[in-house]
Amino acid sequence: MAAAKRWIPLSLLGLLLLLVAGGAGAGPAGEWTPVTDDRLLNADREPHNWLQYYRTHNGWSHSPLKQIDTRNVKKLQVKWMMSLGELGEQQSFPMINNGIMIVTAANIPHNTVYALEAATGRLLWKWTRKTPEDLTAFARIHPQSRGVALYENTVIVPTLDAKLIALDAKTGKQVWEATTADYKDGYYLNSPPLVAKGLLITGPAGPGEMGIRGWAAAFEAKTGKEVWRFSTVPEPGQPGGDTWAGDSWQRGGGSIWLPPTYDAGTDTVFFGASNPSPFIDSVRRGDNLYTNSVLAVDRATGKLKWYYQYVPNDAWDYDTMNEHTVLTIKQNGKEIPAILSFQKPGFMYALDRRDGKLIYAKKFIKNVDWAEGIDMKTGRPIEAAGKRPVMGGEKVPICPALLGGRNWVPSSYNPETGLVYVPTMELCMKYGYVKEVKWTRGLAYVGVSWDAVMQGENAGAIRAYNPNTGDIVWEHWVKAPPIHSGILSTGGGLVFFQTMEGQFKALDAKTGKVLYEFNAGNLASTGPVSYAVDGKQYVAVVVGGKTRIRGWLGAERKLDHLLNMNFNGLLMVYGLPD
């Protein structure tokens, strides 16, 4: 791939510098170096660091480090760990800048940020902030923190009361605070913003479940001042406003659950917008733009360049919030600049990132029956008959479950193998609407009831796909659905992840063979990251903190054993023996 050809020499150069002098742009281990726009745009020059959510703007979630490889991974051991508390959904991705790690915890009643020595876990500073006692329903029962963003000498913290807060990276003291929305309406921030050329670009969680309008927005990274805002639900008179019946747009949903990806060459940001609200389709007739869509937005202005809607008038909570991986697709001897995504409805999509034209779409899991396929002319799903529930009717058997063919945790693209690694699920559901749904400010606006159904003895798999064709190359089955088993691939030919049953695993990136397994005894919570300090490679992952297993899985008795898992949040760091 064209992108890979540019990437390889930078990575090799960065690795050489790491081994010889501590890494490109790096000071001594433990010394904070300003995280500039240039460093973020050229993150592959610093393989020892993890400076942003996906490590690189393109959403690859790949580390080129190769000290830990297929030959020695069996020697891996826990180097240190840290408790993050028992309450909340511990979903943080640690950020690492020259031996300093920043990690968060979402423990009601506090947002917490820790700065640690990345090699030892020694605490450098801690910042904590009490959350308001009147947090709305979803933020309170589902508190999350997926990490921070780094910019210059600040740590940018998203909060459960919809604020962005900048901390001094060396001391933890607050520098500035910006309010992005009124949390009492149901907005909250769970994921860090994308940092691109001086802007913090983000969107809120909440709209898809709370009956409010979603948006994406940009803020000055140095001050928090708002620069632009784009609504994911247009009002009457705006393009797409006619896809909402009556005043349903006012409570239309469209959350931005995750950081967007970014194509610096065209200055384009790619957002995945979530489901409409409420889940009941008859309340909001029409296609309901721009929910369940990918939005290609100009970074500097917020102007919409193009969009592609995956699921018009979504009836199943099939929100399409997952990352859009920026890469190059090879077909018929041609190279196509593309974005690739694996979304909850069970289909993978390759789109031309210049104009949103559909390159291909195909099922990436086995159990998909709500749609027969994707119409290549219109891009719309070909829905199967009888799969939309009826208000007050019997529950309908549907595949996949509303947890999706995959959930929010990241996939990973390895430019050396040319494969994309995805945590996939094979759960189905019995799904129906309640007889009445009423909107009340600050309360959930959903209106459905569902139960998970397993079709066999295994509810999911880690799968490797060829992005040029969408074909499965290998699969590693797991019993419990890998709801939060995010993926990390590395230059050492490995694929790391944590199972929902507490196993930390390393697979051979070419074959899927299990090369390492450690019983960490705690539920998967997010995806691993990798970094190096003083020439030693580490793999870090946050686990535990899950409090909603029964709510996810309903009456499926085959998964009852997950209720006995530990729920305390832990940061675990692995490395080779000294």
Q: Which residues are catalytic?
A: 317
> Kind of pairing, strands 77-85 and 569-575?
antiparallel
543 neighbors 90 (Cβ within 8 angstroms): yes
Q: What is the identity of the amino acid at 522? A: N
- For 238-285, give the DSSP string: STTGGGS-TTGGGG-B----SPPEEETTTTEEEEE---BSSS-GGGS-
Dihedral-angle region of residue 281 (phi above 0 means left; psi in -120 to 50 means alpha; beta otherwise): alpha
Which sign does the torsion angle of CA 488, 494, 497, 498 carry? negative
Distance CA 87, CA 74 (A): 33
Collect all residues with Cβ–Cβ distance below 8 Å to 58 and sequence separation of at least 6: 3, 261, 262, 263, 325, 326, 327
Q: What is the identity of the amino acid at 240? A: G
Return the residue matching tokens 């030892």. 120
Inter-residue long-range contacts of 506-512, CB under 8 Å, 24+ positions, other chains counted: 506/73, 506/76, 507/462, 507/476, 508/70, 509/414, 509/417, 509/419, 509/421, 509/464, 510/417, 511/474, 512/462, 512/464, 512/474, 512/475, 512/476
